[in-house]
Amino acid sequence: MKKPRPPGTPRKKRFRDLSFNRMIPNILTLLALAAGLTAIRFGLEGRWEHAVLAVIVAGVLDALDGRIARLLKGSSKFGAELDSLSDFVCFGVSPVLVLYLWTMKDAGRLGWVLVMLFSICCGLRLARFNVMMEDHDAPAWQARFFTGIPAPAGGGLVLLPMVLSFQGGEDFFRQPWVVGIFMLVIAGMMVSTIPTYSFKKLKISRQWILPTMLIAGAIAVFLINAPWLTLSVVGFAYICSIPLSYRAEQALKKAEGGL
């Protein structure tokens, strides 16, 4: 017989029955995690282009899972924790392990130290993000920005030397000191307080809907026909947007202070 629960003892939390639609975001997160782990496998096999594409696929799936969760009202604490774990593996571990196998192993112990440093900074970035999500006293405009470079962007930017090497100049971009500088800079920017644009709550006005769709279609076409050039342009465009996001955040702070 089942023993009765003593008075005052809290009930154990159990998973509720969920509709399949509400499970879709978590399924996408698991697919992103699988893509990130597959990137490591491609790196071990020396299939560098496939490894980069696997990380990109993980980034696309990561961008979709949160948005779909909000659309389907399937957000949960479990999903948030799973997403953080997936982000750490996909963008804090996989890219730098691929880079280590590609060239950083030639730097000896220093190469491995830089790999670990990047992963640690990514973990700190994700932990800080989770804590800031619980700050309900933050001003509404703060939702427009991330604090530091988000983990998916950091995982993509750190692969820029490899992406650039696919278009020529491998003798330069494959040098450990070049990749090491990228690692240090991107790791530092992830844990920095530099504001970067967040597009999670971006709303497109009616007159910009069609142009936005055309731009998205054009990017998709270029990705199919010239993937490495397109990824390089997107990466440098993101880097160029950081000073703009800083100016925008400072303007909003001044406006708030003047109220």
What are the extents of the domains in the chain? 91-258
Q: DSSP secondary-structure letter at 9?
A: P
pLDDT in tens, 118-140: 999 999 999 988 887 776 666 77
| Rounded Cα–Cα distance for residues 11 and 24 (Å) | 28
Residue 223 has pLDDT above 60, yes or no: yes
pLDDT of residue 166: 92
| Rounded Cα–Cα distance for residues 226 and 232 (Å) | 10
Region 232-250: mean pLDDT is 91
Confidence of residue 243 (pLDDT cuts 50, 70, 90): very high
| Rounded Cα–Cα distance for residues 10 and 37 (Å) | 39
- Measured in Å, how far apart are the chain's first and last C-alpha atoms? 66
Residue 14 has pLDDT above 90, yes or no: no
The residue type at 71: L
pLDDT in tens, 180-206: 999 999 999 999 989 998 877 667 777
Residue 165 has pLDDT above 90, yes or no: yes
